[in-house]
Structure 1
Amino acid sequence: MTINYIVQPGGKLTGRIRVPGDKSISHRSVMLGSLAQGTTRVTGLLEGEDVLCTLGAFRAMGVQAEGPSGGRLVIHGVGLRGLKPPHQALDMGNSGTAMRLMAGILAGQPFDSELIGDASLSRRPMGRVVDPLRAMDASIASAEGGRPPLRIKGGRQLRGIDYALPVASAQVKSCLLLAGLYAEGETAVTEPAPTRDHSERMLRGFGYRVQTQGARISLRGGGGLTACAIDVPADISSAAFFLVGAGIAPDSDLTLEHVGINPTRIGMLNILKLMGANIELLNAREVGGEPVADLRVRTAPLRGIRIPADQVPLAIDEFPALFIAAACANGETVLSGAHELRVKESDRIAVMAQGLKRLGIEARETPDGIVIRGGRLLGGEVDSHGDHRIAMAFAMAALRADGRVTVSDCKNVDTSFPGFANLATRAGLSIEVRSGR
């Protein structure tokens, strides 16, 4: 079954909406809740396919959970040593986050396991976690090029290492910290640039001691996790599409409620403000150790910029939406230092460049980035290549297009944003979902 979006040109975004829960925090709440002693109660959980794959994996290893329903999930944790051998391979679907973090957890188990994924995930490189896990004495076999499936041999005593990340990556950092829960001695990760710190915050919330000294994050194995309550904020990566949409569509005035504004995730906000976006943070507060706020965005003329290098890792998932902002800006926007975009659910640099050109925008790829010259968006057909973020980004592009925009291969939007089209319609986007074979 294929899903296509048919989006009529023009319109504006208004009102108040709340996008689904943060995917990164949802994944981690399922993982740590399962490994904790006691009952963890989660509200605001993202019920997307990626998170459901993570939950399914823990259920396959003996964890009992009630829900999710309406964003609520009750997890009866089994403790760090309480997981049971799964009877079959654990399917991570489309989720690179799930596979990389699960590899760290499974490396410390007494049983053998295998991690698999869909066609897209099976093309994504896992060597960045496999190599340091092997340095911790884990036994992991992968397909050619370090790609899935990952076959993990249990019964290995892991040892802590002091690892300097060659590339800023919250997934690699989190994988090694989770493996460190099972390792002898100290496990430490040093970052070349700040990345999202949800794992560190949540580990502390579950009562585990994590030390942060500058760019070095460390913990010692042998402790335990204690169940707690988690309120998942709305996902800033999902809010990004609406922030850009309301920023580029004339006469828009949209408020996004209860959005997570973790300092390691607000690169997209910083970049949009540098481009001239009109975004206000209202009712800022802290919920469960995570800062949140309501974000009000109104239409404003945007200008092209050279994106600061220090903001790139803080906005790595939001660039498809930001590229649409760049297409509507006056002048040239230049991105570099973002090679990570080449190995996401798709090659996001190449696929976005292709789509922008189909809509009449000048876009030039570079090895680690892109140069976009703002201009007049035309109607046309764009292939998302099965990438959820690209599908949603081009749907928002129709707000400034001269003609209808058709986005193909949108089924994977449900991995991160179930109900996207309905919420977008409510806000004012004229979007139709068509399915076929």
Structure 2
Amino acid sequence: MIITPVDEIRGELEALPSKSYTHRAYFLALLAEEESTIENPLFCDDTLATVSAIRAFGAEVNGKTVSPPEEPSPGFVYARESGTTARFSTALAGGINGRTLIDGARRLRERPMDGLVKALKDLGAGISSSHLPLAVKGPVKSGKVSVDASKSSQFVSGLLLLGAKVGLKVEAMNPVSRPYIEMTLRTMEAFGVEFEREGFSFEVYPGVRRAKYRVPGDYSTASFFLGAGALYGKVRINNLLRDDVQADIAFLDALEEFGAKVRRGSDYVEVERGELKAITLDCSDFPDSFPILAVIAAYAEGKSVIRAKQLRFKESDRVRAMAVNLSRMGIKVRELGDGLEIEGGRPKGARIETFKDHRIAMAMSIAALGAEGPSVIEDTESVSKSYPGFFDDLRRLLG
């Protein structure tokens, strides 16, 4: 795809439904006592992997309606490229009597599973490997477990979902991306799951009630267009709730720190271009925003440092991917172990490599809008992982 630069962007869009909440709602509907309805779900490659997973466990899914089995059954789960699907399925397989095989696409086979695998083994599950493909033989017994969550908060969320089925005490050690754990707990509350907590130690009681659950709008995918507003004009995104606990709501604070003008309504966010200055930021709690934050740093005056602990274990090595692409655009970038040092300037048009990573493709598309000269984005199909209509919405925003 060829992207030519624009002078200004002004417009508004409706936020996409949240991918993270959609995953959680469908897995909880699998465990519920009766039929549930998921309103406003996001359907993309990742969430369709989750729908396939809960079907493999015995649920009947008819679009937004989920009819749970009397008891989930073992089976085969192919998680595609979805880390959430793989990790939640692995955890829940620990509560099922029998042997479940879980696999995924090539990059997913490289992503860490070790903290979750160790926790499940400590609970008595039989597991064949520390990475995909792996087989899980349950059931585990109700009990207490500690999990090293320094590589992924999904290890904790998976065990919390398992606790909703079997009852479990979970202690999360060194958790990253903590707001995603809060999202899991909020969704559990909507499905009537009872739990107690002290910090990041939880006691989850078994039992999931049916729910009519509406998926909120997604701050993560909205961040790309809000970033465009910060760089090129003014953008408003509707259907973003001010009181949400989503990780990427912190992206708005980062925009303000850069110097953009941010207005928060009860159900919308509006971002307007300001005089952007370099910042130093650790986005370990909202790492999905790293690519678009790196793009904003590329336009900000001065030298920014953007870090996060787990960037190299995503759909791509995002530190390397952004370093390669921003360097191609003529931006001075220094690669750090856990992030980038970026000296802002005026990017030049370039041939962009997405590394088959949806967030790299979307972030670099926004970067190209203000570059000197046209850019070519290779492999735009990767956006279907989370936002199949991204380029349609980008065209709509550009008029």
Alpha carbons of structure 1 residues 215 and 168: separation in structure 2 relative to 1, 3 Å: farther
Task: Report the TM-score, using the length of structure 1 for normalisation.
Answer: 0.86
Q: Distance in 1 between matches of 2:239 and 2:152?
A: 26
What residue in structure 1 maps to residue 343 of structure 2? Answer: 373
> Which stretches in structure 2 are left out of the alignment for 5+ residues?
none
What residue in structure 1 maps to residue 159 of structure 2? Answer: 176
What residue in structure 1 maps to residue 272 of structure 2? Answer: 298
Q: Distance in 2 between matches of 1:109 and 1:354?
A: 44
User: Which one of 205, 209, 216 corresponds to residue 190 of structure 2?
Assistant: 205
**SS in structure 1 at match of 2:263:** strand
What residue in structure 2 maps to residue 109 of structure 1? Answer: 96
What residue in structure 2 maps to residue 280 of structure 1? Answer: 263
Q: Answer 1 or 2: which has greater helix percent.
A: 2
**SS in structure 1 at match of 2:143:** coil
> Which stretches in structure 1 are left out of the alignment for 5+ residues?
68-72, 285-292, 430-437
Q: CA offsets per residue over residues 4-57 of structure 1, 9 Å max, x none?
A: x32111243322211321111000111101210122111221110100111012
Residues 115 and 147, structure 2, Cα contact 8 Å, conserved in 1: no
Q: Tell me, yes or no, if structure 1 residue 215 matches structure 2 residue 200.
A: yes
Higher relative CO (Cα under 8 Å, sequence separation at least 6) belongs to: 1
Matched to 2:184, the amino acid is S
What residue in structure 2 maps to residue 22 of structure 1? Answer: 18
Q: Distance in 2 between matches of 1:182 and 1:39?
A: 16
Q: Distance in 1 between matches of 2:355 and 2:392?
A: 22
Matched to 2:132, the amino acid is P
Alpha carbons of structure 1 residues 168 and 84: separation in structure 2 relative to 1, 3 Å: closer
**SS in structure 1 at match of 2:240:** strand
Q: Distance in 1 between matches of 2:106 and 2:7?
A: 36
Residues 41 and 74, structure 1, Cα contact 8 Å, conserved in 2: yes
Q: Distance in 1 between matches of 2:316 and 2:241?
A: 25
More deviation, 112-121/209-218 = 209-218
**SS in structure 1 at match of 2:132:** strand
Alpha carbons of structure 1 residues 183 and 77: separation in structure 2 relative to 1, 3 Å: closer
User: Which one of 395, 400, 416 corresponds to residue 370 of structure 2?
Assistant: 400
Q: CA offsets per residue over residues 157-176 of structure 1, 9 Å max, x none?
A: 33422425452732111012
Residues 150 and 173, structure 2, Cα contact 8 Å, conserved in 1: no
Matched to 1:84, the amino acid is S
Residues 169 and 195, structure 1, Cα contact 8 Å, conserved in 2: no
Q: Tell me, yes or no, if structure 1 residue 151 matches structure 2 residue 142.
A: no
Residues 360 and 378, structure 1, Cα contact 8 Å, conserved in 2: yes
Q: Distance in 1 between matches of 2:167 and 2:234?
A: 54
What residue in structure 2 maps to residue 237 of structure 1? Answer: 220
Aligned residues: 395
Deviation at 1:264, TM superposition (A): 4.9
What residue in structure 1 maps to residue 316 of structure 2? Answer: 346
Matched to 2:395, the amino acid is T
**SS in structure 1 at match of 2:121:** helix
Q: Distance in 2 between matches of 1:402 and 1:187?
A: 52
CA RMSD of aligned residues (A): 1.8
**SS in structure 2 at match of 1:360:** coil
User: Which one of 379, 392, 395 corresponds to residue 409 of structure 1?
Assistant: 379
Alpha carbons of structure 1 residues 224 and 182: separation in structure 2 relative to 1, 3 Å: closer
Matched to 1:31, the amino acid is F
Q: Tell me, yes or no, if structure 1 residue 57 matches structure 2 residue 53.
A: yes
User: Which one of 345, 355, 360 corresponds to residue 385 of structure 1?
Assistant: 355
Q: CA offsets per residue over residues 385-415 of structure 1, 9 Å max, x none?
A: 1000000000001121011111112222111
Q: Distance in 2 between matches of 1:332 and 1:375?
A: 10
What residue in structure 1 maps to residue 72 of structure 2? Answer: 83
What residue in structure 2 maps to residue 334 of structure 1? Answer: 305
User: Which one of 95, 106, 113 corresponds to residue 82 of structure 2?
Assistant: 95
What residue in structure 2 maps to residue 38 of structure 1? Answer: 34
**SS in structure 2 at match of 1:103:** helix
Alpha carbons of structure 1 residues 106 and 200: separation in structure 2 relative to 1, 3 Å: same
